[in-house]
Chain A
Amino acid sequence: MELIHNLAVGFGVALTPANLFFALAGALIGTLIGVLPGIGPIATIAMLLPLTFHLEPTSGLIMLAGIFYGAQYGGSTTAILVNLPGETSSVVTCIDGHQMARQGRAGAALAVAALGSFFAGCVSTSLIATFAPPLAKVGQSFGAPEYFSLMVLGLIAAVVLAHGSVIKAIAMIVLGLLVGLVGTDGNTGGTRFTFGITELTDGIDIATLAIGVFGVGEIITNLAQPQETRGLAAKKITRLWPTREDFRRAWPAVLRGTALGSVLGVLPGGGATLSAFAAYALEKRSSRSPAEFGHGAVEGVAGPESANNAGAQTSFIPMLTLGIPGNAVMALMIGALTIHGIQPGPQIMSERPSMFWGMIASMWIGNLMLVIINLPLIGMWVQLLKLPYRFLYLAILLFCGIGVYTVSNSAAAVLLAAFFGVLGYVFTRLECEPAPMILGFVLGPLMEENLRRAMRISSGDPAIFIERPISLGLLIAALTLCVLVALPAIRSKREEAFQE
């Protein structure tokens, strides 16, 4: 009963004209950047963070969330039609989706992807509504030592489950933690790493860092690559509705993909990309005719597409209930909350129920909008692919500049963002993923605060982290993950999982 009451509150908030507008705006922007290669949801959300500063916090979050799940829809459209994954989460959709398109079944593939995503969106939204409250209760019972250990586990898990070198990713986290400490120490009043620059005494704004590393860094990376040719014209889509046979084969894949994506999304580092890759592997292995995969198997579209949407949505759970970001997008969401002076954590649900439930209700509405709007608009989105990157990057560059300036009203922040842009480019070139850095940056001050509190509880004895059972369990889990990933057998499996 409480659930129904909560959802009623949520829909009351989400159905106001302003919030409907922002859900739609977010979903459309998300689809747009999902379609366009060269700009992803992280960079977009970073650029729009300053904008949310001028909105109601609820409306801002609704829009940012819309961008995130909208990008999953948009990414699959170009993957199917022109064999270009707009997002990393739709890389696997290319394999069978584009084959279907070449066989003249583009409409069916698009419809299966959209309907599968919508189904997954509905299921995962209700999962959030069901499991978030009890999880937040658990979170509220945590003391400082438990919280510290939970953050350690979250950070470790985030890099173990992501791709690339684990040791470099951990180094990037530590770097992010250090950048997060720049400014004035709230406890002692001393300044740290400010290089004598007045603007740095307040610390570095998350928007400045994220826009620099992801927005500007991405522009440089893209421009440094030789121009690709994307002259592939899409064939005319003749029939949109899948055949009865398609339906029969797709729906079990949708169910499996949704289940897998929902579980993987909750894990730190999970989210959309991992879910999609895992779902494709699952479909291929459980299929009675694996030879069909790669030649237009409808399951190869239905499974991953459902999984990436489910994973994108359930990755909100740890962020909303515990204040722990599982991926870079969630770190930016936390940034959006802190811009409004809202402390992320388990208390959000009880202190701001209308914001919490409004956002959840809006996710469902946004998913519905995406299905209704996007299927008829597919032709228009594909036309947008013809927009060359040399125009696109100028617009992105400008929005980066104005965005950074407006959030801090300081010219120094723009210069700082430019510096982070170069840094982001250098790291990308050296195969150091910048995403873990933003996780560390967001959690840095929180971890220090909880470490200090824990030490005060134990009068300076670090053994408190292993004396408290919950904290010990969390640390053991983190350690186990580290050991597992170092084992050669697991390591090769892990690399294989991201190849395919």
Chain B
Amino acid sequence: MSLPEERTNLPDPYWRMFVRKDVLAGLLFIAVAVLGLWISRDYPIGTALRMGTGYVPRLLCWLLLGLGAVVLVQGLREAQGARALSSADVLALRPVVFVTASLVVFGLSIERLGLVVSILLLIGVGAVAARGLRPIETLAAALVLTVLSWGIFIVGLGLTIPVWPEW
């Protein structure tokens, strides 16, 4: 899973410290908290007795900011080379991109193109995410899954999703 340190091609010590899991996690929490505080800057806070829209959200953002800082410091103080992201993690972009893309395509097409076409699109794009899926297998899977979904969702549950494209 994790490659040897020499092969990661990341010689910069600062960079290595940056890609530690706890450092990244801490930064992520801090980023979300700062974003939340910025978005909620105009939310009325109110008082403890009459809490405004922003009271609890801002409280939570500050809490998250603090927790994120603790995680970050813990990550920085960890022993050298501890639990860093490996280059294998970074190279896993293929499933991230295509799994996400398949859902986006499905979401955008289901209302206009109907269930059958959007299932085929989802399978078509989603199949690229995995290695070693042969075209014929993808086709078979698409066929089986289309019939199955039609049976479960349209016939079985009687959902009112358009099945075919609406012209």
Contact = CB atoms under 8 A, between A and B. Distances in A.
Contacts of A417: 103
A190 B44 contact: yes
Nearest to B133: A390
Interface in A187-239: 187-188, 190-193, 195, 216, 219-220, 223-227
A44 to B, nearest CB: 14
A188 B44 contact: yes
A165 B82 CA distance: 15
A163 interface: no
A171 B68 contact: yes
Contacts of B64: 171, 174-175, 178
Contact of B122 (A167, A171, A226, A398): A398
B25 A168 contact: yes
B43 A192 contact: yes
Contacts, number: 190
Given A167-B71, A398-B149, A456-B49, A411 B96 contact: no
Interface stretch (A119-127, A247-255, A399-407): A399-407
Interface string B29-58: 100100010011001101111011110110
A397 B105 CA distance: 12
Nearest to A459: B49
Interface in B132-150: 132-133, 137-138, 141-142, 145, 148-149
User: Which secondary structure dominates where chain A touches chain B?
Assistant: helix
B103 A430 contact: no
Contacts of A178: 32, 36, 57, 60-61, 64
Interface in A417-445: 417-419, 421-422, 425-427, 429-432
Q: How big is chain B's contact interface, by range?
A: 35 or more
Given A181-B60, A225-B1, A418 B145 contact: no
A452 interface: yes
Nearest to A176: B60
A405 B53 contact: no
A391 B48 contact: no
A415 B100 CA distance: 8
Interface in B1-50: 1, 21-22, 24-25, 28-29, 32, 36, 39-40, 43-44, 46-49
Contacts of B28: 426, 430
Of the candidates A192, A227, A398, A414, the one having the most CB atoms from chain B within 10 angstroms of its own CB is A398
B151 to A, nearest CB: 12
Q: How big is chain A's contact interface, by range?
A: 35 or more
B52 A167 contact: no
Given A167-B70, A394-B127, A398-B122, A190 B52 contact: yes
Given A174-B64, A219-B99, A401 B122 contact: yes
Given A405-B110, A430-B21, A397 B157 contact: no
A54 interface: yes
Given A177-B60, A430-B25, A462-B48, A422 B96 contact: yes
B129 interface: yes
A493 B35 CA distance: 38
Of the candidates B92, B111, B127, B131, the one having the most CB atoms from chain A within 10 angstroms of its own CB is B92
20 contacts: A165-B71, A171-B71, A178-B60, A181-B60, A220-B92, A220-B96, A224-B92, A394-B127, A394-B142, A397-B102, A398-B149, A402-B153, A413-B107, A414-B110, A422-B100, A430-B22, A430-B25, A430-B28, A451-B56, A460-B49
Interface of A: 51, 54, 165, 167-168, 170-171, 174-175, 177-178, 181, 185, 187-188, 190-193, 195, 216, 219-220, 223-227, 389-391, 393-395, 397-398, 400-402, 405-406, 411-415, 417-419, 421-422, 425-427, 429-432, 448, 451-452, 455-456, 459-462
